[in-house]
Amino acid sequence: MNKFRLNGSDIFIGYDVASRIDLFIKKQAITHIYIFVDANTEKYCLKSILNSSIYLKKNQVIKLPVGEYTKSLQVFEKICTKLLSKGIDRNSLIINIGGGVILDFGGFLSSVLQRGIKFINIPTTLLAQVDASIGGKVALNLSDYKNQIGLFCNPQMTLIDPSYLLTLSKNDFLSAQAEIFKYGLIEDRNLWNKLIKCNFFNQDHLLDIITECVKIKIKIVQSDYLDWNQRRKLNFGHTIAHAVESLFFELNQPITHGFAVFIGLICESYISYKKYKFSKHQFLNIIKEIQKVWLPIKLDAQYDNLILKYLKVDKKNADYKFNFTLITEIGSAIVNCPVSTNDILLSLDYYRKNVYTGTK
């Protein structure tokens, strides 16, 4: 088992890490325990977590909807009201079991309800284990705008166990692969070279990959916890990705976060190549490796203005100007790069003409 610490919050990576819950609860005067799940984590993960603990026998399970709708103000109000009716108090403990949506929602609710309730994160998707569960960002969506209502708050601890990934679909793994590719592109060329040869469905490989990604994220977050400078490296691929994700949500055709990140990585690598002397050879290498694992999805030009609409509320923007994180070479990123509307449109056009080739 590996243990890390970030801003007073413990992160455990390994098998049977849920046993750490009892060690934590023993030292606390916990009055009530509430466990947040969705239909998937209730079916595949909840039982094994409950079986690993003595103290979790007396709990109240709160079942949340599957998908981004959970991160709405409507669901937030409904769940807060339900918890208050069940007698939640500031000595309670909330345990979030799920992917990024549940961790975002549960972390935000825990941070603000009654001015703060202790919470533990148990990420059960690969994407959440390598990214969403680390760093203290918690958020809700505002209508179709992603993560516009949020704050920074760390859980008491984060328990990362690769065995929870055994029930995931191939698309779940692909979605995470986009986020994992990002780490190699922004910080570690050797990791990138390792990732493009890696078998993501091998449990031993997974534990190693998860640990390496968590180390990189901790290192970056520790240098800039509140996300004003170097932490923005982690946004590579995500500026366009969040806008694309919001677009498909508005169209009532939601796509996974990771699939949106693949689009973002392609478009933002293109902008890096055109504006910041990122080499054509490395740029084409990124496209080639993404196309090996992912079938690009259709992105009609008629929606470009909607993508720009969502980009205008990106949190990195300053003085009404687009601010991106870009790469100068594989393994090296720069933050706060001004990017024009035309740069963005050209990158989307490149994606349509050179990357998307099917009818999906």
Question: Where in the chain does DSSP place strands (E)?
Answer: 2-6, 9-13, 33-37, 60-63, 93-98, 118-123, 137-142, 145-152, 157-160, 322-329, 332-339
How many structural domains comprise the chain?
Answer: 2
Q: What confidence score (pLDDT) does residue 201 get? A: 75
Residue 175 CB neighbour total at 10 angstroms: 25
Give the span between the Cα atoms of 268 and 327, in whole angstroms.
8
- Domain containing residue 110: 2-167
Residue 235's domain is classified under what CATH number?
1.20.1090.10
Residues 336 and 240 reside in one and the same domain: yes
> Tens digits of per-residue pLDDT, 179-229?
999 999 999 999 999 999 887 777 778 999 999 999 999 999 999 999 999
Query: Which of 30, 80, 81, 83 shows the shortest CA–CA distance to 58?
Result: 30
What string of DSSP letters covers 217-242?
HHHHHHH-TTSSSGGGGGGTTHHHHH
CA angle centred on 229, ends 223 and 6, rounded to 5°: 30
Eight-state DSSP code of residue 164: G
Query: Residue 152 has what pLDDT?
Result: 98
| 186/231 same-domain check | yes
Close Cβ partners of 67 (under 8 Å, ≥ 6 residues apart): 101, 254
Q: What share of the chain is helix, strand, coil (3-state, %, to 5)?
A: 55, 20, 25
User: 146 and 190 in one domain?
Assistant: no
- Asked if residue 228 and residue 86 are part of one domain, the reply reads no
Listing DSSP states for 257-321 in one string gives HHHHHHHHHHHHHHHHHHHS---HHHHHHHHHHHHHH-------GGGHHHHHHHHTT-TT-BTTB
In angstroms, the CA 309 to CA 338 distance is 17
Between CA 290 and CA 293 the distance in angstroms is 6
Please return the burial class of 189, using the count of CB atoms within 10 Å of its CB with bins 0-12, 13-18 and 19+.
middle
What does the pLDDT read at residue 280?
Answer: 97
Contacts (Cβ under 8 Å, ≥6 apart) of 218: 4, 6, 11, 134
For residue 207, being part of any structural domain is answered with yes
Residues of the chain short of pLDDT 50, as ranges, are none
Choose one of 133, 167, 201: the last residue of a domain: 167
Residue 221 and residue 346 in one domain: yes
Cβ neighbours of residue 225 closer than 8 Å, sequence gap 6 or more: 7, 136, 152, 231
What pLDDT is recorded for position 198? 85
In terms of domains, do 95 and 179 share one?
no
* pLDDT in the model for residue 200: 77
Q: In this structure, are 29 and 125 located in the same domain?
A: yes
Residues 18 and 147 in one domain: yes
Q: Is residue 217 part of a domain?
A: yes
Residues 20 and 146 in one domain: yes
- Report the half-sphere exposure of 278 (CA within 13 A, side-chain side): 28
Q: What pLDDT does residue 310 have?
A: 97
> Is 338 in contact with 322 (CB distance < 8 Å)?
yes
Beta pairing partners, 338: 323
pLDDT of residue 185: 98
The pLDDT assigned to 358 comes to 65
Q: Using an 8 Å Cβ cutoff, are 271 and 324 in contact? A: yes
Shared domain check, 190 and 285? yes
Domain-embedded: residue 360: no
Rg of the chain over all Cα atoms, to the nearest angstrom: 20
CATH number at residue 50: 3.40.50.1970
